[in-house]
Chain A
Amino acid sequence: MKIIKIDKKNWASGLEDLAGSYRLFGPAKEEEFHNFKALDQGVLPDLTCLNTRLSPKSLIYPQSEVMFEYSLDESQEDHHIMKEVDKDYSPRAVIGIRPCDVKAFLLVRKNFDSPEYRDPYWIRAYEATTFVGLACEAPCNTCFCTTAGCGPYHEEGLDLLLMDAGDNFLVKVITDKGEKLLADAGWDTEVNTDEAAKQIEAKKQAAEAKISSFVTADRLKEMDTVELYSAPFWEEVAFACINCGTCTYVCPTCWCFDIQDENRGRSGMRMRNWDSCMYPLFTLHGSGHNPRDTKIQRVRQRFMHKLKYYVEKYDNGIQCVGCGRCVRLCPVNIDIRRVCYMMNSYGTSDNTCAA
């Protein structure tokens, strides 16, 4: 294991050097909240950000992404032929991303990069990216990462893990990609590994001890799908939901999209846009039939997908990293922790939730 120390005085200049070989992205505050943005020359990522309002998934998987262009002008030889659009897959680096949000890319990868299907856009963007994570020293009270397969110092999916240590950052080098970024930035002060490792372990434990919110998901996998699907609690869970889709749009692990052609004049483009299982249109068939045309069915789909179908299909834990965004932003306070509890304890005597 290799640990590097960056004097904060060298932070800005290192980033400036990086700007030559990477497109940089990081949290930036605009008015009342942070989001991930491309960092203009000389702009530093705002590392005071607890976490961004929207997840960083759009860096790899934009809300609207053009895939093809075409002409409808029949005087053109190539009319009605789909042509790939040029995209920028040059190296990019995301600075200050939280461990949960990086872990989320690994969950999403199961969908975009599987033995059956390989999504070229997602994969190329993902592979072009170096992830410089920032460990959480003060997790939010709605973060439940430690029981959702990651944690404030979790390293899976990261190339470098940055930790705030007063006048310095400590940086744990995790991959070769990370190593390369350090070299490009000229950050090369190695520190005594044993000592630093101890310091990091202590910080990690302190951060984990601050997590105050948890889920239990141990029974979900073995439970009978049909029984869970038919459980009577869905009416209660779904009652307040307004099917707005906020939960799925802000979620780093939601991946569903819809493909649309948009024409303007005699040309057009084929694009994909985020979609959400909370929307009636999501499952509307061409015939007009909608197999999920009630709110209860849609709400159930979201939770069953995240907490049962995914768990069963991939044997990779729940499709949630515990970032807490949906908990904080659902306008009617539908709380996945509460629903997870109801599902996980269904059929035991212990299924009235105290949350």
Chain B
Amino acid sequence: MLSYIDKIRETSARLLKDCSVEMVIGFRKGTVPMMNEPHFAKTAEAVDKLVWDSNCGINLANYLTNRQEKIGIIAKGCDSRNIVTHIIENKIKREQLIIIGVPCSGMIDKRKINAMLDGEINDVVEDENNITVKGNDFEKILNKRDVLQQNCAVCIHRNPVIYDELVADLVEEQEGVDRYADVRSIEAMSSEEKWKYFDDLLSNCIRCYACRNACPLCYCPTCFVDESRPQWVGKSQDPTDVRTFHFLRAYHCAGRCTDCGACERACPVGINMRVFTKKLEKDCLELFGWEAGMSADVRPPLDTYKPGDPDDFIK
């Protein structure tokens, strides 16, 4: 993926120079290992700062919400699906965008890599297949496939589903992936086990809402947890309020979540809240044959009614 950068800069510079767009949204190199920062370029000269590697896991669709100008946006598979969702939900207009598609081979999981090593990581260098991690007294080569973000490891839409420019040939999609092993193992639990599992899962939550804010779907002008007239959810660390936040947020993402992993990636205390949205994703697939963000021309199942919609769950 490193080879994409020349094409990304060249395309971005061209679009800015011929005034097709006013800004290009991409990433600039981060100040700490395995981090890049979402960044915009407004002039052809500024595109030199744009970078691309396996640390671009943040979902850039999040930066489009309600913007008015003409924008070039760099989009990997999941970003493109959230862009589609944004278009369907009137958060941005298709005509405003020039989508610079990036066929993706997955983003690496910083947390996983940190946990694999004892010392502090000073530098991380990658090539097509390997990640070389360097610290004060160690150097280790990891196979990129082994350190992908969980959602990337089970991703079946690595290529952008919508684009105007493409920075490289499409990549081969992963076949035969079992996307829902984790969800099935929770479904198989008894109610008590589930309760305990969710309690443990959320026990470290400090309710900073980084997961919500990293999510391109969570754009409500006032989130239900922030509503103060009336106030639906308490502000303390009461477990009921923590749960209410997570459960309700997940439901608000039903039929919209693309499993981009932005939420999990953002959490400062490493909570895998994706298990909630994945369950809903699985249900949408099984009940409606629906995958979010694949086409701007089809209305999502949760905002349409069809006489044949499944209703077995109504008891």
Contacts and interface: CB of A to CB of B under 8 A. Distances in A.
Contact of B31 (A271, A284, A327): A327
A331 B58 contact: yes
B243 interface: no
Interface string B210-251: 101110000000100010100000111110000000000000
A236 B235 CA distance: 31
A32 B271 CA distance: 11
B236 A335 contact: no
A242 B236 contact: no
B228 A284 contact: yes
B115 interface: yes
Contact of A240 (B38, B226, B267): B38
Interface in A94-151: 138, 140-142
Contact of B268 (A31, A53, A242, A276): A53
Contacts of B209: 244-245, 279
A239 B62 contact: no
Contact of A333 (B31, B222, B228): B31
Interface in A251-291: 258, 260, 262, 271, 273, 276, 279-281, 284
A66 to B, nearest CB: 8
A249 B236 CA distance: 14
Given A140-B120, A273-B236, A338 B31 contact: yes
Interface centre among B36, B111, B208, B238 (most CB of A within 10 A): B208
Contact of B237 (A64, A142, A240, A327): A64
A245 B208 contact: yes
Given A32-B115, A262-B236, A327 B213 contact: no
Nearest to B114: A32
A242 B228 contact: no
Chain A interface bracket (under 10, 10 to 19, 20 to 34, 35 or more): 35 or more
Nearest to A259: B235
Given A245-B208, A327-B31, A333-B36, A63 B237 contact: yes
Given A142-B32, A244-B213, A250-B268, A333 B37 contact: yes
Contacts of B9: none
A332 B268 contact: no
A335 B209 CA distance: 19
Contacts, number: 108
Contact of A244 (B235, B236, B266): B266
Interface centre among A33, A53, A242, A337 (most CB of B within 10 A): A242
B39 interface: yes
B308 to A, nearest CB: 40
Contacts of A250: 268
A22 B62 CA distance: 49
Contacts of A31: 270
A53 B208 CA distance: 14
Contact of A327 (B32, B62, B115, B204): B32
Given A245-B210, A333-B30, A53 B234 contact: no
Given A32-B270, A33-B270, A262-B234, A335 B32 contact: yes
B29 to A, nearest CB: 9
B63 interface: yes
Contacts of A281: 226, 228
Contacts of A177: none
Contacts of B269: 33, 53-54
A355 interface: yes
Contacts of B204: 30
A351 B315 CA distance: 65
Contacts of B234: 260, 262
A331 B206 CA distance: 15
Interface centre among B35, B63, B122, B238 (most CB of A within 10 A): B35
Would you list the 3 A-B pairs with minimal beta carbon distance, nearest first? A331-B266, A244-B210, A64-B236
20 contacts: A53-B268, A54-B269, A63-B206, A63-B236, A239-B39, A242-B62, A242-B213, A244-B213, A245-B208, A246-B208, A246-B266, A249-B208, A262-B238, A279-B226, A280-B222, A280-B226, A327-B32, A331-B214, A337-B31, A355-B31
Given A63-B237, A244-B209, A273-B235, 20 more contacts: A32-B114, A33-B269, A64-B235, A142-B32, A240-B38, A242-B213, A244-B212, A245-B208, A246-B210, A260-B236, A262-B236, A271-B236, A273-B237, A281-B226, A332-B37, A332-B266, A333-B30, A333-B37, A337-B31, A355-B31
Interface of B: 30-32, 35-40, 58, 62-63, 111, 114-115, 120, 122, 204, 206, 208-210, 212-214, 222, 226, 228, 234-238, 265-270
